Homo-oligomer: A and B are copies of this chain.
Amino acid sequence: MCELSGCDANVLTDVEGVEEILKAAALKANATILTTAFHRFEPHGVSGVVVIAESHLSIHTWPETGYAAMDFYTCGHATDPWAACEYAAKMLRARTMRTTEVKRGVEARRGQFTHVVTTDNEARVLTRRKQTA
């Protein structure tokens, strides 16, 4: 789970751009894209999901506050959700990122599954590269 703050409002408003970023993020994670569903709100804001063979990536944006809420939900050892997360943070031009990792589908006892909150990071300040013309 990832909260991005201080993002570029124009980027967060552009539904096609956000979809491209999320699809590229899926590829960065070494995931296989199956299908997507995106929606642009009026006056602004985007919601969207990329369903991948290894689960899904989701995003909800609030351009008016520079905020984006993202989930990078993957399974298997071949995918790296953190690669997708860091790529998306860079492309949305986030200033800070707060993440928590949750392990899903942990078998607590035979046939009974649970989840475990494993990493609860502090907000992280990101280096925002200067945009070149």
Partner-B contacts on A (CB < 8 A)? 1, 3-6, 34-39, 41, 47-49, 51, 53, 55-56, 58, 60, 62, 65-67, 69, 71, 73, 75, 96, 98, 100, 102, 104-105, 107-108, 111-115, 117, 120, 123
Contacts and interface: CB of A to CB of B under 8 A. Distances in A.
A115 B100 contact: yes
Contacts of A108: 98, 123
A34 B112 CA distance: 33
B56 A51 contact: no
A111 B3 contact: no
A5 B111 contact: yes
A115 B62 CA distance: 15
Contact of A35 (B37, B56, B66, B96): B37
Contacts of A55: 47, 60, 69
Given A49-B58, A65-B107, A67-B113, 15 more contacts: A1-B102, A3-B105, A3-B114, A6-B111, A35-B37, A35-B39, A37-B49, A60-B73, A60-B75, A65-B111, A67-B105, A69-B104, A100-B102, A114-B123, A117-B120
